[in-house]
Structure 1
């Protein structure tokens, strides 16, 4: 069925291609000036009712001809087919070396003609800068501007004004991380000067499977003022040491973990508690769950490394160290306690979004990848994106050898060393792609002992990435890498290498999923060149340790050499289980994120409305104050007395209480409400009279309201982060933790909305605006 659907798409796109090709000679006959004049011509057509679909054929013919003139690269037919798929909102699966960077220029040009936001997202800063600079010449020739949202000088901090200029460009190149953080940061701004993003319209995501799937479980989090340090991290870490798997805690198929009933009882005895799950023990429970996660779900050299006295996180897909990045909601501090390094302060989450939620903000989305079809169903279910496999420009000449399966790592590494030695003698370049950083280090040591010169590309030396990759296809080159080498990098063969057999790719260990292995194989045999690939796997591969049967490790310990076919099936089965687990975890992340998404969208819309409008009408604010007073009176019940009313006024309305309320003024709820509303009304008029200009009045009300909203939202985001960690503790009681999470998230949001109104009116009533000798105003919050 998948093949049939793909064939139908390709049949449709080839018809469009034929019409584009027919226009080729006419475009070639145009002068540079005539070709450039097509851009304002297309824009005029769009302004008068035409759609991008209507002008696609001629626009593609134009930009194709321009690419040939400016870049010296005239897109092949298959590249045009890929470009058509991208405009149609598909994920174009194109093999490594098929020129995806050039393919993207066609839909970017077409969609930028609308004048709306058009963005290409890449995996890292190096690729964003490289592709943006390379393709900007083409877009400039056609009268379009290009923005590159990358800090090429790490010491440079991009200001909102600089960001505004970048995002005002017709076409923007950025990384998925920068783009997501810019969205969050803008929505923390207090005025129009802090806003720089245009409304989202069209985005192309390069390496879409890495961004939309592999990074889907990692939320983007903006952290703010740190919380008070807690000594519970060390205590919880000590407690975790006495627990036993399956008896005291369970790691489920979604790679989550929680205490069993026995584990909860053990915690109650250890910490001398009556009920671990009582509300007053929320923080302790959270720290226990964090420590449990640190020891069971996070592995050193896989998800993180320890450098000096710091925990450094690793990018799952690339193996790169993620600079200045920490896990949120206390998870980073739990890892620090586990590794016995100094525990840093836990920051408060101020804003958060997952990539799943973020890219759903775009009305039009497309993607490119060399390995998307394996997860085509998930792309369709979560993002509504179909995968279209694009034919290669030249037949694939690479030879993919059968896997060689060994019982243990020692036998496997010895076999790989023999193959590298034999291949190296011929001068053929070798790229060894290992399943973990630890394996790159171990194999590097073996090569050093064997006297074979080589380069290592992993999380510890990414600064030399471009140089190492350039050399990887040269004669006698031996390169060891993690999956970092398989994304967005171009290994070109040196002179005479194709005749030697091209690049030889050796996979060292079964990887987490088949996509990573396909990407690794794809480093060889680009554009019809020769090449070969083979994977060496064993029962001690991490994917087998995590998802294979426990008896397999006993077999590995008592056997050596090459393993039979049934062992290969066990290893492949572990990989399939790992893939299924990852899909389930991504779906769980998406489901947990629904509450945050709904609340975030509501809050951000409210913020934008506040920034754009700036209301000062009394009726609006007094209706909000009425809600605040109603809530106060409800909490008081029938016991309101003059002293309580006076306390409320001094805490929320004015510090200067002229007359103490009479008994008769608070005798009933109705009278008390009338009295408090009258006090609020007088204070409102008094506050407005103190502010000199209309503009200052608007800014004052806006600032007071935004501060109340932002402070409440920061507390809510932080609470939801903590709740997500702690809620798994309820699984042992057979509760539906998803239902529990959404129920509590909704209850906390309702409480937050009232807190916003209360603090908003308190800020307005008690906040002060002061003027200096020059008449400049400054605002003091209460």
Structure 2
């Protein structure tokens, strides 16, 4: 009650924040009038002056990086607003400028669907790009990265800022003018998409300058990965930014590093999807392991003979499957082993557990699809296929055997990082989404990000009805079909959301029986995504979609005129890219007439009708579906039609509703429609969200242990790559190794009691030559004397090899040794983590035990690194420059093989790079000799 009263008196935290920012928006509005009078050339020059000022003024640059709002920041925002009108024909609403300021401050802007988040980001991106420190715009898929970069590209190109795009197939692009000459002419001659002095929010189509619209178009041109990152602004997916970071820390030379700029500033689109939903799974680069994959066939044959609830128990709530005592005995008999839990059978036990999960928790056409003899993962949040991605730890192999497709080799971890720890690398992080407020606590606790709810440009007119619950799925689907049938007759556009491919195809078959034309958008039909969504608001359109998160395209009532114009040109036999100004104008006018007419009809019918056929685990995904209706003040309607057999209701509390229906004697086909039912479902969703939060939090706690170790190793690795103080490292290594071994092999304090034979044998093994133990007073002096002795051998090696060759040999030895040991270390930690939970039975906290064990293992790894490096350097043979080059090239080729065979996580394979054929080792050596 007190909270409600305080909110009424003083407003919410977001409302107070928005109120503060409105005064800055007023200042930007004043500057708009002044900038409107400037020519394109003058506007560009003003931007260049601002760019120079930011680079010359260190304090201003730091203020921008820290998200402070100064006069120069407001000027930058005004410049972007003006450029948007001139190049895109889009003018920032005041609330969009508020959203941009929130992003600049390093916060999360919650803006409803259809409020123009793609445009909002450009203002914050532009002002932070002026620092030349790099800006990363993170999207949920490759299509949106390419689309957003080219769509917003004209604003950046207008101001001479470079834009790069990275994709998951390792292709990379830079954004260029579609017609460089025409764009330059448009700038010189002051062409504008919007006429000068026009400040209305919506511009009639007859006032748009089609020539300017065509002049200010951009395209993607292939470039190297490094060039894409060298740009002022880089668009890409969260996975690719993370994988490139890991790959850079596996690079064999500085030339291979692509993320050349620091992690300065990132804006994450659909921030809740990326930083929360996807953060349950870490990014992993894996390589082939030595495990025999035939063990999965044996495990599968055993699992198929086990009976549910007798031999094993499935806990769908916690997504686990456990063997019973009877099941263990039966599995042992079928496998022909005495004890399944014996150390020698541990791999078989692991394979059986994964096979049980594959058969009971992972469903075809829900969690994955099978296409061309391959198991492809379906993203549970967007409904898209994730090509090349694989589940780790043998789960993917278990599913491949279950589906009878060729089994691929299991993998072991080569490099890993969680999204939480990757995004914490950025000096400033911001995000935008339509649904973040429900997760505000997690954003603050994990990432230190505040959520600011931005008001809509126009009031929301959508009607959200209470949930309707039927007893069975059959009744539910019949009710959905009846509603679609009734509304389709009127011509009302309908969007139906499903949670799986299986459901979308089932509904599609039901609609086909009724003769209702419709489009299906799921992982199997994603190629026509933009086309389907763009026209989902037309009269009579029926669209079935598996999840609507991150689709990145608005559903306009009456349809999208520009898309329709392109379609018309194609029907007239004209390529839209080659159409003349007159042809484009004619097509646009015809398209606007059709869409405006249809829009009026759709508004009369009540706008877009959204039907949800199942509640998702997360309320945010449901809200994203609802948000497709009622955009920009349009009318709309949403309702969820559920059944007690839906997974969420069945697992979390559907029994209570069922008992209520039985008590009230509700006949078949009659639903319960009540706010109480909706509330009960939301409570179930809250429980799942809380459970998933704990999973993500636990994952982060475990990864934080490795994060300290990862940062230490990556920092050391970068020093080695850059050749920094390598000889100082070597001196330190020699001293540390000798000190540890002297203390271990000579435990007594008095020199008279020392048994020096063991130390002599160790030194012979370490250096490859006999070393006499001198007469000294104590261990400290012995370590110093032996250190000098070994440094003398190092000096001799340097003389023999020449200083330049010695430094290169030292660099190669250190890199190779560190990489090998780090990979082994990650493998050991994977195995440690798998079994550490058993410590809980001894009343010990598994996390505390993991921290202790991981620390000791890491200390041991570092000592092994020092010892192996010292030994290899002291034993290095004299080689000719040609032999050294050959060895280095071999090492590089081996390294490339590891990277090319690596799988990226959960796990995604790295495809071949496109481009000219790589030269063989022999060819490169011959070229070096010629030079």
TM-based fold match above 0.5: yes
Which among 699, 718, 739 is matched to residue 608 of structure 1?
Answer: 718
In 2, the alpha carbon distance for the partners of 1:628 and 1:341 equals 51
User: Does residue 218 of the first structure (1) align with residue 218 of the second (2)?
Assistant: no
User: Does residue 395 of the first structure (1) align with residue 459 of the second (2)?
Assistant: yes
User: Does residue 162 of the first structure (1) align with residue 221 of the second (2)?
Assistant: no
In 2, the alpha carbon distance for the partners of 1:130 and 1:702 equals 42
C-alpha spacing 1:493/1:27, structure 2 compared with 1 (3 Å): same
* Correspondence 1:252-291 to 2 at 5 A: 255=319, 276=341, 283=347, 286-287=350-351, 289-291=353-355
Q: Deviations 1:85-134 (Å, cap 9, x if unpaired)?
A: 11111111111111111111111111111121211111111111011011
User: Does residue 132 of the first structure (1) align with residue 237 of the second (2)?
Assistant: no
Which among 607, 613, 637 is matched to residue 532 of structure 1?
Answer: 637
Instruction: Quote the residue 1:739 is aligned against.
Output: 848
Instruction: Quote the residue 1:585 is aligned against.
Output: 695
Native 8 Å contact 1:486 1:520 kept in 2: no
Which among 563, 576, 580 is matched to residue 671 of structure 2?
Answer: 563
C-alpha spacing 1:747/1:774, structure 2 compared with 1 (3 Å): closer
Q: Deviations 1:272-302 (Å, cap 9, x if unpaired)?
A: 56793x7666645544554454455544433
Instruction: Quote the residue 1:206 is aligned against.
Output: 269
Which among 467, 470, 482 is matched to residue 534 of structure 2?
Answer: 470
Deviation for aligned residue 1:574: 2.8
Instruction: Quote the residue 2:572 is aligned against.
Output: none
User: Does residue 94 of the first structure (1) align with residue 111 of the second (2)?
Assistant: yes
Deviation for aligned residue 1:330: 2.6
Instruction: Quote the residue 2:925 is aligned against.
Output: none
Native 8 Å contact 2:171 2:222 kept in 1: no
Deviation for aligned residue 1:237: 4.9
Relative to structure 2, which stretch is displaced further, 116-125 or 633-642? 633-642
Native 8 Å contact 2:173 2:221 kept in 1: no
Relative to structure 2, which stretch is displaced further, 320-329 or 296-305? 296-305
Which among 685, 693, 697 is matched to residue 575 of structure 1?
Answer: 685
In 1, the alpha carbon distance for the partners of 2:824 and 2:473 equals 48
Instruction: Quote the residue 2:618 is aligned against.
Output: 513
In 1, the alpha carbon distance for the partners of 2:709 and 2:348 equals 27
Deviation for aligned residue 1:387: 1.2
User: Does residue 15 of the first structure (1) align with residue 14 of the second (2)?
Assistant: no
Relative to structure 2, which stretch is displaced further, 356-365 or 638-647? 638-647
C-alpha spacing 1:155/1:363, structure 2 compared with 1 (3 Å): closer
User: Does residue 190 of the first structure (1) align with residue 252 of the second (2)?
Assistant: yes
In 1, the alpha carbon distance for the partners of 2:817 and 2:297 equals 35
Deviation for aligned residue 1:169: 1.0
Native 8 Å contact 2:308 2:314 kept in 1: no
- SS of the aligned residue for 1:700 comes to helix
Q: List runs of 5+ in structure 2 lacking aligned partners.
A: 175-219, 559-594, 748-753, 895-931
Give TM-score, length-normalised by structure 1: 0.89
Relative to structure 2, which stretch is displaced further, 211-220 or 63-72? 63-72
User: Does residue 771 of the first structure (1) align with residue 880 of the second (2)?
Assistant: yes
Give TM-score, length-normalised by structure 2: 0.75
In 2, the alpha carbon distance for the partners of 1:179 and 1:224 equals 20
In 1, the alpha carbon distance for the partners of 2:406 and 2:292 equals 12
Native 8 Å contact 2:367 2:377 kept in 1: yes
In 2, the alpha carbon distance for the partners of 1:155 and 1:89 equals 27
C-alpha spacing 1:284/1:615, structure 2 compared with 1 (3 Å): farther
User: Does residue 704 of the first structure (1) align with residue 704 of the second (2)?
Assistant: no
Native 8 Å contact 2:317 2:651 kept in 1: no
In 1, the alpha carbon distance for the partners of 2:468 and 2:655 equals 22
Deviation for aligned residue 1:333: 2.4
Instruction: Quote the residue 2:764 is aligned against.
Output: 649
Which among 174, 179, 201 is matched to residue 236 of structure 2?
Answer: 174
Native 8 Å contact 1:625 1:757 kept in 2: yes
C-alpha spacing 1:706/1:420, structure 2 compared with 1 (3 Å): same
- SS of the aligned residue for 1:463 comes to coil
In 2, the alpha carbon distance for the partners of 1:211 and 1:590 equals 15
In 2, the alpha carbon distance for the partners of 1:10 and 1:774 equals 67
User: Does residue 419 of the first structure (1) align with residue 483 of the second (2)?
Assistant: yes
**CA RMSD across the alignment:** 3.8
- SS of the aligned residue for 2:275 comes to helix
Deviation for aligned residue 1:488: 1.4
In 1, the alpha carbon distance for the partners of 2:332 and 2:661 equals 40
Native 8 Å contact 1:398 1:533 kept in 2: yes
- SS of the aligned residue for 1:23 comes to helix
Q: List runs of 5+ in structure 1 lacking aligned partners.
A: none
In 1, the alpha carbon distance for the partners of 2:532 and 2:340 equals 57
Instruction: Quote the residue 1:306 is aligned against.
Output: 370
Which among 75, 78, 87 is matched to residue 61 of structure 1?
Answer: 78
User: Does residue 499 of the first structure (1) align with residue 601 of the second (2)?
Assistant: yes
C-alpha spacing 1:37/1:769, structure 2 compared with 1 (3 Å): farther
Instruction: Quote the residue 1:433 is aligned against.
Output: 497
- SS of the aligned residue for 2:421 comes to helix
Instruction: Quote the residue 2:923 is aligned against.
Output: none
Deviation for aligned residue 1:5: 0.6
Instruction: Quote the residue 1:75 is aligned against.
Output: 92
Deviation for aligned residue 1:487: 3.1
C-alpha spacing 1:730/1:251, structure 2 compared with 1 (3 Å): farther
Native 8 Å contact 2:370 2:376 kept in 1: yes
- SS of the aligned residue for 1:215 comes to helix
- SS of the aligned residue for 2:408 comes to coil
Native 8 Å contact 1:160 1:193 kept in 2: no
Deviation for aligned residue 1:232: 4.2
Instruction: Quote the residue 2:574 is aligned against.
Output: none
Deviation for aligned residue 1:224: 2.1
Which among 428, 432, 439 is matched to residue 364 of structure 1?
Answer: 428
